[in-house]
């Protein structure tokens, strides 16, 4: 409005509209809870977190998430699902059906779950190997029945392409294609996202990092998460803090939303 150059001047109407837009962002945040991959396989099935190096019980996220859903009125709730075809690149059981890149030091027959290998391309793909999990339509892929369902809750699937994994609920690991998540959040004019679920150091963490990058104020509900590996969890926590995510606790969320 104060610009000297007549041509560059915002009209009074545009100026007030811009001010109003930002005031609304600050005074009237729109919140979304993103519940990441609270599926049978991670809690009680083929990739149960209690059998992973950190030995954490995935089932422990359920009371924490349900209490947040009971006490906080989010504008939107999104449930993500890891949603793999049976020929998915991340499954160690499929390793024989794919070609390892010549730079690998291990043979197919020697690979163990959680080893990282490079598959021959195109494009060559660095991939951590997991037991088969969350196969589309299987029991293991279902959201756990004790997880509170929300009226109007939206489901977002990820990891649906056979040749690329997807740790973030926004992007595949090659950043070639996006899920529907950012479109859904934008459509609802979401400003703030609250993230919980499994696994802290995998899909929860990478979802938070992409949420920050997309410009959402991002809060991790740490006691409503369980992870795979303690070292990776610590590294992810540091990474999230450095990037500007807020680490919080389920009992504090009602004061933030
Ligand atoms: C996940 C390992 C493999 C997760 C998904 O949801 O964190 N972890 N696929
Ligand atoms: Zn997966």
Place of tokens 């004061």: 255
- Give yes or no for a contact between 114 and 130, defined as CB atoms under 8 angstroms apart: yes
Q: How far is the CA of 134 from the centre of ligand 2 (A)?
A: 7
Q: Please indicate whether residue 233, judged by its CB atom, sits closer than 6 Å to ligand 1.
A: no
The pTM for the full model equals 0.90
- Give yes or no for a contact between 131 and 28, defined as CB atoms under 8 angstroms apart: no
Positions marked catalytic:
37, 158, 203
Q: How far is the CA of 251 from the centre of ligand 2 (A)?
A: 29
Ligand approaching nearest to the C-alpha of 134? 2
pLDDT by residue for the chain (257 residues), tens digit each?
Answer: 565 666 667 788 888 988 887 787 778 899 999 999 999 999 999 999 999 999 999 999 999 999 999 999 999 999 999 999 999 999 999 999 998 998 888 888 889 999 999 999 788 899 999 999 999 999 999 999 999 999 999 999 999 999 999 999 999 999 999 999 999 999 999 999 999 999 999 999 999 999 999 999 999 999 999 999 999 999 999 999 999 999 999 999 999 99
pLDDT at residue 123, rounded to an integer: 86
Residues 6+ positions from 186 with CB-CB distance below 8 Å? none
Name the token pair of 67: 């209490």
DSSP notation for 136-198 = TTSGGGSBPTTSPP-TT-EEEEE--STT----SSSB-TTSS-B-SHHHHHHHTT--EEEEEEE
Q: Dihedral through CA 209, CA 131, CA 117, CA 158, nearest 10?
A: -40
ipTM surpasses 0.95: yes
Pocket test for ligand 1, best of 199, 200, 225, 227 (most atoms within 8 A of CB): 199
Q: Which residues lie near ion ligand 2 (Cβ < 5 Å)?
A: 82
- Cα–Cα distance measured from residue 126 to residue 5, given in angstroms and rounded to the nearest whole number: 54
Q: Please indicate whether residue 129, judged by its CB atom, sits closer than 6 Å to ligand 1.
A: no
Place of tokens 């009602």: 254
- Cα–Cα distance measured from residue 96 to residue 128, given in angstroms and rounded to the nearest whole number: 15
């Amino acid at each position: 409005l104060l610009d000297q150059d007549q041509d560059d001047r915002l009209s009074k109407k545009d100026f007030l509209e811009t001010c109003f837009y930002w005031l609304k962002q600050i005074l009237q945040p729109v919140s979304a809870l993103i519940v990441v991959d609270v599926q049978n396989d991670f809690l009680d099935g083929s990739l149960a977190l209690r059998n992973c190096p950190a030995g954490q019980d995935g089932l422990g996220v359920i009371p924490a998430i349900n209490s947040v859903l009971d006490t906080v009125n989010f504008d939107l709730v999104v449930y993500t699902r890891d949603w793999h075809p049976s020929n998915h690149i991340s499954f160690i059981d499929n390793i024989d059906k794919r070609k390892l890149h010549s730079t690998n030091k291990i043979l197919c027959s020697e690979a163990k779950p959680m080893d990282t290998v490079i598959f021959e391309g195109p494009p060559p793909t660095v991939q951590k190997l997991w037991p088969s999990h969350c196969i589309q339509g299987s029991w293991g892929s279902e959201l756990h029945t004790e997880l509170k369902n929300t009226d109007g809750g939206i489901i977002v699937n990820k990891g649906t392409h056979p040749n690329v994994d997807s740790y973030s609920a926004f992007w595949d690991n090659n950043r070639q294609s996006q899920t529907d998540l950012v479109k859904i959040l934008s459509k609802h004019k979401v400003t703030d996202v609250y993230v919980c679920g499994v696994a802290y150091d995998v899909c929860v963490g990478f979802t938070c990092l992409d949420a920050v990058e997309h410009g959402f104020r991002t809060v991790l509900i740490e006691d409503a998460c369980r992870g795979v590996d303690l070292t990776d969890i610590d590294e992810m926590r540091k990474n999230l803090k450095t990037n500007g995510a807020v680490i919080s606790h389920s009992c504090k969320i009602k004061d933030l939303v």
